[in-house]
Structure 1
Amino acid sequence: MRRVSKITTACLATAALAFTATACGASSTDTAETDSEKLKIGMAYDVGGRGDNSFNDSAARGLDKAKADLGAETKELTAKHGETPADREARLSSLAEGGYNPVIAVGFAYKDTIDEIAPKYPKVSFGLVDSVADAKNVDSIVFTEEQGSYLAGVAAALKSKDGKIGFIGGVDLPLIKKFAAGFEQGVMDTDPKASVKIQYLTTGTDLSGFGSPDKGKAAAQGMLDKGIDVIYTAAGGSGAGAIQAVAAEKGTWAIGVDSDQAKDPALSKYAASIMTSVVKNVDTGVYELAKSVKDKKPLTGTHTYSLAEDGVSLTTTGDHLKDIQSKLDEVKKKIVDGEIKVKTTT
């Protein structure tokens, strides 16, 4: 403040230099304001990071949109297999201390870390995807995964030749069990004679099930060998392996998750076998938080992106759902209207 006052005094010293000096002073101030107000977004991905063809990539699309539309500067960091809470804490702290605001943590594994870190940086807005934080300066971005999965179950039941259907989850966590519960209910409500085989790649604190395509492929192959002809995989990067296995078996269908996996460059060669994908629009949540910070009205609390808001949906790439779309639309309306209550546990 003292430096600015001296510049102002100098500007007023002589009438002859008033315009020039004042312009110099204004320019300096404007530049400082521009630098301080520039939107800087820090993104902490879950295991797999950008390029996982699934959950993290959906978040990355929101970041890219914020960069393009809002002129944001961004920094991206990614979790690793087997890391400790201290590793997650260091990642989020480095972003907050680096002047990034908001700082967005992608994945429920960051929940405890956000609760620990956010209160230490009260002027920073944090985003937490897929879990609900206790701290006040956090926007908890969650989805009704079970509703999108119910629709996928309806589609699976209508497309399966003999009602043998499979679900592969990355890890047997409550979040992934929401996918399984909605999917199984959708199948059984549509075809009570059908069966749904549910399998998880890892259990407990072993999160490698979200980033092991080989495990996804092996699990899917085991199901295919038993005559299962539709497999829905909610397992992050592991889903790519499951899709590969299904694509090699004529007359079977894969259902993707989180991103439109038929459009993903790494999976596009399998597009003919991907019936649909259950999309969670993480990009919408990421972008809306970024814009709210840009507008100086940061979002806080819990924001649930539901089927009614297109927070979750089924993709239509390849027109594989064309023959059953009217039925899916009918079921969607019943869910939105509350006529169908979708379970969150099996």
Structure 2
Amino acid sequence: MTPDVALILGIDGLANGAVYLLAGLGLVLIFSVTRVVFVPFGDVAAFAALSLAAFETGRVPPTIGLVLVLTALALLTEIGSLVRRGESARIPKALLGWGVLPLVPCLLAWLASRPGVPAPVHIAVTVLLVVPIAPLLSRIVFQPIADASVLVLLIVSLALHFLLSGLGLLFFGPEGSRTQPLASGSLPLGDGFTVSGQVILMVASAIVLSGLFFLVFERTVAGKALRATAVNRVGARLVGIRPARTALLAYGCASLLAGLIGVLIAPVTTMYYDSGFIIGLKAFVAAIIGGLVSYPMTAIGALAVGVVESFASFWSGALKDVIVFSLLIPVLMLRSFVSVHAEEEEEEVDQ
């Protein structure tokens, strides 16, 4: 391997790592607030990429149909819950929150599918269109079992991924799609070596969004509420923070990140209805490196995953995923050695 090849692979790894960084932040955010390993995160990103491709070909994004189905299910779930609790007076508010608001991006997407709409509008509407997906899934699937164990939530999340893959096949079909580059041109680095504008855009977007992510958590009331819920759910409830609302906010922020990821990766790889699973899985490796709690360590883990994947693809394209996922073994072993293990006290049960 020559230095030039190593430099190319390193830059490609940073671009991949930027995507995994954003996805890892979304996974850690949801897990810290709700204890859910949100496996379908990558599916939301894939739906965003396919929606943008639909706009470029002059079609109405099939994501509209998916959002409509999820909206109907979430609305029925919320109304049923209110009726069981004897709070029928809150049904009009539920109709607005779970029935009307998710349809606004659908209307915007339908209007944006007409000819002559500029590309920046398509990008913005694409991101908005997928934002309701994760909160709707949360209301339908995870909120009713919010007090279940982490293992049960993980199993349900995995099953939800396969369900979304089937819905993706139903709405989008088996064909793959790739969009036009979001940034043209390149940056020369000397000796005839250049970096494409798309790669620069991906890395810059990761840096900017990570900075905004930090500011939201440190400077806003909503960010502090998310942090409080992540640290102590019971304590947050005692001071007036509703975990259900913070969970909804966490899912919405993660869905926004997934939409941005889909827009960024759509020009660099052909996306299919099930392409999101591998993205989410590699982001999960980065999140595991961060212990599913540390955002800085997740960011470092994401960059490490991207660089390792890039160099592994050079050595053996068939084994690159195996090499990336093998990173979990030393990380888990190290965490097992350094973690403090406490023996559970056995409780005597009087017969």
Q: TM-score range by the shorter chain?
A: under 0.3
Higher helix fraction: Structure 1 or Structure 2?
Answer: 2
TM-score in terms of structure 1 length: 0.24
Higher relative contact order (CA 8 A, sep 6+): 2
TM-score in terms of structure 2 length: 0.24
* Bigger CA radius of gyration: 1
Higher strand fraction: Structure 1 or Structure 2?
Answer: 1
